[in-house]
Amino acid sequence: MVGSFDVAQALRGGIRDRRQAWDFVRDFAAAWSAPLGVSSGAHEAELEQAEAALGFRLPVALREGYSLLGATRRDLTGNQDPLLPASELFVHDEFGGVLVFRSENQGCAFWGVRLRDLDQVDPPVFVQSRDGWIPFLERASLAWVELVLSETLLGEGRLYNACELPAELISELPRWFTHVDFPDYPMWTGMEEAPVRWFSAPGKLLRLDGQDDHSWLHVRGRTAADLQSIYSAVPGQWACGYSELPEADELPFY
């Protein structure tokens, strides 16, 4: 399964419910990192303490997400815009109050659920951007899937690279890789960065941030051979040269 796992194939038809989201997270973790175990999620006592401190119950989907995969698995949740530990959940006073569960790595943006939506089983998630709080994804379980994909993509190691694609190459991406059946969503940097779209092939993961000329394409391979095959398909100006596989601190994060 590890060598043949393809995100687009696994998500064909989209994510219809929470169970499918959690099944994907388990399968993806096992294929791209290491299987989830009991220690991967937050314990019930930790969630109860967080709820006591907040003064309200967490929505079902947030509870399930933390129980399955909390902040201890930094390989899946803590490389660029980390998931907060349950003990660090807090309420942002803007936008009528937002329960924040994820933060941009320098605190420039937050992801969360509006307090008025806490009664929903799988409430929508909003992201704080320079345009204010904007819709991110329509269900928290989808946000967990996006978290795991993005934090894995942007993880440490020498199997990641990025380049700015001209419009003519952006239009060619669906010919080289399969578009993942996942909802479009905006970057935290603002609506002009929308839409973010995912592409994949077995052992290859790609995220295109925007559709305008010279939008950034971020890529990761499961192996060096997978990454080299992306280079062969996409003749872009890569942040690190073809002859050397990139280090995480050499990348153009923003």
Residues 79 and 105 in one domain: yes
In tens, the pLDDT along 174-188 reads: 999 999 999 999 988
Of 29-33, 35-39, 65-69, 245-249, the poorest mean pLDDT is in 245-249
Residue pair 130/191 in contact (Cβ under 8 Å)? The answer is: no
Residues 32 and 135 in one domain: yes
Residue 233 lies in a domain: yes
> What mean pLDDT is reported for the chain?
91
Expressed as residue numbers, the domain containing 67 is 7-150
Residues 107 and 228 in one domain: no
Query: DSSP characters for 13-38?
Result: T---SHHHHHHHHHHHHHHHS----G
Which residues lie below 8 Å from residue 79, measured CB to CB, with a gap of 6+?
A: 151, 152, 154, 155, 156
d(CA 213, CA 29): 33
The two three-digit tokens of residue 171, written as one number? 């239009």
**Of the candidates 127, 150, 173, which is a domain's last residue?**
150
Look up tokens 């989907």; give the residue. Answer: 61
Please tell me the predicted confidence (pLDDT) of residue 250.
40
Please tell me the predicted confidence (pLDDT) of residue 251.
39
In tens, the pLDDT along 61-107 reads: 999 999 999 989 999 999 999 999 999 999 999 999 999 999 999 98
Which residues lie below 8 Å from residue 249, measured CB to CB, with a gap of 6+?
A: none
